[in-house]
Amino acid sequence: MAAADNPRRLAPKQHFMRHAARWKTRLLLDPSRPTLGSWLMGHKDPQGKFVATCVACLRAAKAKGPGHVDEAPRWATTKSMAMSTFRRHAAKHHHQHNVSIMVPDNLRNGSTTTTWASFAPSVDAFLDVALATKRGHPLHLGLPRVGSKSKLRRMQYCIAEALRELDRQHLRTATCITVHADARGARYGMQYTACLQDLQHRRGFLGQTHLTKHKTGATGIADAAEEVVRKFCL
């Protein structure tokens, strides 16, 4: 067996990511409704170590209080991350009970509303991240009661995408749009100012790219501008 194929030679995170798709198709919250997804997930624990766990059992443990989080399964080694281990967990009564709470009967009977929203950070947590970003807080240090730097980066991405969608909505209804482009070195950026019919205006950043990816001269600048606009509209 090659070293790359030996699970004991892989880091736990690499091992999990390599097999996660196959495992998750077999470890569903509700086999009759595969769109609800799997109860298996990988994440970093409070100590920053990558582990595999059960979403339903972790949710139930958190609901009991901070002192009960350790009750959720925690598979931290490549040896423990195996289908046989996951199947033994799936057969346990407490796991089945936790899944039944997470996926109530109304979801099993055809409703498209899921309980995944209960795992999303709260509005207050997003507000804390937005204010910390605005104030220049070093997010790599984490935020109390919110999370570590990896979680904060994902939340920042969600906030940025929400703002971009507001920009898109404004530009769709704008009667006048002015684009401002600037370049420094090989980096090319574009901003906009747009005005609605009732004279409400909004300024924003369309995006940036590297001129080295395009031809030189006016043709390259035009191609760079088109790339920025296309990415913004996605």
Query: Residue 61 and residue 72: Cα distance in Å, rounded?
Result: 6
What is the spatial distance between Cα 19 and Cα 82, in angstroms, rounded to a whole number?
9
Q: What is the mean pLDDT of residues 226-231?
A: 90
Predicted structure pTM score: 0.46
Dihedral sign (CA 129, 131, 134, 138):
negative
pLDDT of residue 4: 46
Q: Which tokens hold the place of 220?
A: 């390259």
User: At residue 221, what are phi and psi to the nearest 5 degrees?
Assistant: -65, -40
Chain segment 63-112, per-residue pLDDT in tens: 877 666 677 899 999 999 999 999 999 998 889 888 888 876 544 444 44
Please provide the distance, in angstroms rounded to a whole number, between the alpha carbons at the two ends of the chain: 44
In the chain, count H helices and then E strands: 8, 5
* Rounded alpha-carbon distances, angstroms, from residue 218 to 180, 186, 215, 222, 225: 16, 14, 8, 6, 11
What is the tens place of the pLDDT at every residue in 148-195?
888 888 899 999 888 888 888 888 889 999 999 998 888 999 999 999
pLDDT at 123: 83
DSSP type of residue 23: H
Tell me what the mean pLDDT of segment 37-50 comes to: 88
Mean pLDDT over 205-232 rounds to: 88
Asked if the model's pLDDT at residue 203 lies above 80, the reply is yes
Q: Are strands 201-210 and 187-195 parallel, antiparallel or unpaired?
A: antiparallel
The mean pLDDT of the chain is 83
pLDDT beyond 50 at 7: no
| Size (the chain), residues | 234
